[in-house]
Amino acid sequence: MSEDVIKTDMVIIGAGPVGLFAVFEAGLLGLKCHLVDNLDKIGGQCAELYPEKPIFDIPAIPRCTGQELVDGLMEQCKPFEPVFHLNQQAESIERLDDGSWRLVTSEGTVLEAPAIVVAAGAGSFVPRRIPLPGAETYENSSLFYAVRKMEQFRGKHILVAGGGDSALDWVLSLQPLAASMTLVHRRDDFRAAPDSVEKMRRLVAEGQMRLVIGQITALAGRDAQLESVDIKTAAGGQEEVDCDTLLAFYGLKMELGPIASWGLNLDRNLIEVETEAFETNVPGIFAIGDICTYPGKLKLILSGFHEAALMCQKAFKLCRPDEKLVFRYTTSSTDLQKKLGVI
Amino acid sequence: MAKVVVVDREGVEHVLEGQAGWSVMEVIREAGLPIEAACGGCCACATCHVYVDEEHLAKLEEPQPDENMMLDEAFQVQDNSRLSCQLKFSDALDGIKVTLAPEF
């Protein structure tokens, strides 16, 4: 097991804009970073919630989209070779004898570092679960919020809920395997790619699957086995759809997750920090960006950038206790310019 | 001052002072009522979902395609469902009554 442990200077939880800028600031000080994020991509809310929406309040960038900001930050921190561990959640944390931290993710990645930085925004993105009585009893046996192995759905009577790309993609991929396929969506208009929608409509026209316009109102089954789903149709009627598998894709929501139980002082799901180094009540664990709170805190990306820079000064002392840090500018320091690879 | 009436998830009514030019979500959030509004009001989530009373529903502008698309990610959507971040408050909406949709 020990050979699988990754040792680094800083583990950053959250690969959003503030986490990425922390990589840059840490890099200037010679610190290496690993990042953990539950999304399948880099960029946090900027990439997941509003990649195409404009941002106007980044200093010296009068206008950019969420995705452009992420792309710029990636380019800026690239010389420091950050390592990303995506599709996994920071799960548990433990202090080692030498004072550093061991963090284990939901995928079993083990990371050790003197500094842990929580840059988790509003928490990690997790699928929205169906808020109906009994839904949790079916979860992972006949109700799923993600598809890991397609084969497990062969021969099943599948109901897919949702109107986005995830819903339509899985309808198209699983329909050939399924005993029957039904898609339920609240209106006859889909945000998924037009090409997928067209393919789905063709299957419906050919009688290979059904499309029901309406909303799920109740689940029925026995033990952990779903047997049917009640749907209130948009036309005002009620329909019962027999199915043994429900795949629900209602998008993602953000929740603090396991971090809530790490012993950090919280104020309404935000992590309390001091404002010199943005360290939490637990030495060596920092919190920056939207997830941290202190008197006067503003949830702005630019505030997160500032917090990242100050945090790195303290993190440096933890990572390099025997070295002295000299404050330099990228404009004039050949040392920093060498680190950036520009000379 | 024009009012916004908010019914919370326990059924309790709160009468708030509406600020013209603010979104209804902002009025609710400023009052400290439990509305998540995760994306901060840019119509990129569905966590400010409310039900609007019939009388005022007719006075609102029709939802933009963006808002309808985000409502797809909400649950228990009704004909009077709206995302409160997209409802700009004005004196013409005095007395608007919104009910917070279940958390999801």
The helix/strand/coil state of B66 is: helix
Residue A178 maps to which CATH number? 3.50.50.60
H or E stretch including A209?
none
Cβ–Cβ gap B40/A253 under 8 Å: no
Give me the pLDDT at residue A1, please: 46
Cβ–Cβ gap B72/A128 under 8 Å: no
Cβ neighbours, 10 Å, residue A15: 28
Residue B4: what are its φ and ψ, rounded to 5°? Answer: -120, 130
Number of folded domains in chain A?
A: 2
ipTM of the complex: 0.86
**Does A122 lie in the same domain as A39?**
yes
**Does A241 lie in the same domain as A280?**
no
Q: Does B66 touch chain A (CB under 8 A)?
A: no
Q: Does B101 touch chain A (CB under 8 A)?
A: no
**Does A261 lie in the same domain as A160?**
no
> What's the mean pLDDT in A293-307?
97
Report the C-alpha gap between A99 and A7 in whole angstroms. Answer: 14
Task: List the alpha helices (DSSP H) in chain A.
Answer: 17-28, 44-48, 66-77, 135-138, 165-174, 194-205, 301-319, 334-340
Q: Does B76 touch chain A (CB under 8 A)?
A: yes
Give me the pLDDT at residue B29, please: 95
Report the C-alpha gap between A86 and A109 in whole angstroms. Answer: 11
Give me the pLDDT at residue A292, please: 98
Give me the pLDDT at residue A268, please: 87
Residues with Cβ within 8 Å of residue A196, at least 6 apart in sequence: A165, A168, A169, A172
Considering only CB atoms, A128 lies closest to which of B44, B68, B104, namely B104
Number of folded domains in chain B?
A: 1
The list of chain B residues with pLDDT below 50 reads none
Q: What is the pLDDT of residues A259-289, one digit of tens each?
A: 999 999 999 889 999 999 999 999 999 999 9
The helix/strand/coil state of B23 is: strand
**Does A40 lie in the same domain as A116?**
yes
CB A298 within 8 A of CB A15: no
Cβ–Cβ gap A253/B71 under 8 Å: no
Report the C-alpha gap between A79 and A178 in whole angstroms. Answer: 47
Q: Does B83 touch chain A (CB under 8 A)?
A: no
Report the C-alpha gap between B104 and B89 in whole angstroms. Answer: 25
- Closest chain B C-alpha to A163 CA, distance in angstroms: 7
| C-alpha dihedral sign at A34, A50, A53, B98 | negative
Mean pLDDT of chain A: 95
- Which two structure tokens, joined as six digits, stand for A72? 């710029």
> Confidence band (pLDDT; 50, 70, 90) for A3?
low
Pick the closest to residue B29 from B9, B10, B6 (CA basis): B6
Q: What is the pLDDT of residues A45-99, one digit of tens each?
A: 999 988 998 999 999 999 999 999 999 999 999 999 999 999 999 999 999 999 9
A37 is in an annotated binding site: yes
- Which two structure tokens, joined as six digits, stand for A138? 């079916």
Report the C-alpha gap between A262 and A281 in whole angstroms. Answer: 11
**Does A287 lie in the same domain as A148?**
no
Give me the pLDDT at residue A16, please: 98
The helix/strand/coil state of A77 is: helix
Among A226, A250, A274, residue at a domain's last position: A250
Report the C-alpha gap between B37 and A57 in whole angstroms. Answer: 20
- Structural domain boundaries, residue B53: 3-100
- Closest chain B C-alpha to A292 CA, distance in angstroms: 15
Among A250, A267, A286, residue at a domain's last position: A250
Terminal CA-CA length for chain A: 40
Give me the pLDDT at residue B1, please: 81
**Does A258 lie in the same domain as A122?**
yes
Report the C-alpha gap between B55 and A133 in whole angstroms. Answer: 32
Burial B50-81 (b: 16+ CB within 10 A, else e): bbbeeebbeebeebeeebbbbbbbbbbbeeeb
Residue A138 carries which side chain, given as an amino acid letter? Y
Residue A20: what are its φ and ψ, rounded to 5°? Answer: -65, -40
**pTM of the predicted structure, to 2 decimals:** 0.88
List, in sequence order, every residue forming a beta bridge with A94; answer none if it has no partner: A102
Among A200, A226, A250, residue at a domain's last position: A250
- Structural domain boundaries, residue A96: 2-126+253-340
The helix/strand/coil state of A37 is: coil
Residue A211: what are its φ and ψ, rounded to 5°? Answer: -120, 125
**Does A171 lie in the same domain as A200?**
yes
Residue B75 maps to which CATH number? 3.10.20.30
- Which two structure tokens, joined as six digits, stand for A232? 């209130």
- Closest chain B C-alpha to A270 CA, distance in angstroms: 13
Q: Could you tell me what percent of chain A has a pLDDT over 70?
A: 99
H or E stretch including B68?
helix B65-71
Cβ neighbours, 10 Å, residue A150: 12
**Does A117 lie in the same domain as A38?**
yes
* Residues of A in Cβ contact (< 8 Å) with B46: 251
Q: What is the pLDDT of residues A115-170, one digit of tens each?
A: 999 999 999 999 999 999 889 999 999 999 999 899 999 999 999 999 999 999 99
Q: Three-state secondary structure along A102-162?
A: EEEECCCCEEEECEEEECCCCCEEEECCCCCCCHHHHECCCEECCCCCHHHHCCCEEEEEC
